[in-house]
A = this chain, B = another copy of it.
């Protein structure tokens, strides 16, 4: 009994290591340029062993997306409890800040929106869809609350705001600014939080 549990723990740990590698490689090179050989080499196991855990490259990517969504959910949960009194707009800014921090840390997997085999794998992956909906729901309630509180522009359809927040989580502008070497990570985040919520125009 204990033996089986231990085996499962080892299995989990290995799969965890795989997903970590995939996550980092997806953040670095993107789905199309990431190869399964690379993943296997990075984890330190044979490619065939990888395929015992995950049946395809798309499944690997889906696992990484599920992990990042779960990290996001954990963050949302923490904010909802420990900072429950904070106004909705501050919750949303905190989330946006968190996504930018993840991206600057090289831990935000970025998938091409166009790849159809990948899209098919994701849209039929219940675990992924469930978490995506959960994140969307939680953000959605903060969005409408912030609009009602007069903090977010009420003329914007909530889904426009939601999509925009998702998009800013993988905004290429972060990478461009980091490349210039002129700004610290915190400066970059503050600048982009500003352009996102306050716009380019003077207030």
Contact = CB atoms under 8 A, between A and B. Distances in A.
Interface of A: 28-30, 32-33, 89, 112-115, 150-157, 159-161, 163-164, 167, 171-173, 175-177, 180, 182, 191-192, 194-203
B30 A191 contact: no
Q: Chain copies in the assembly? A: 2
A114 B33 contact: yes
A137 B160 CA distance: 31
Contacts of A180: 159
Given A163-B177, A173-B164, A201 B32 contact: no
A78 to B, nearest CB: 23
B198 A153 contact: yes
B30 A200 contact: no
Contacts of A167: 171-173, 176
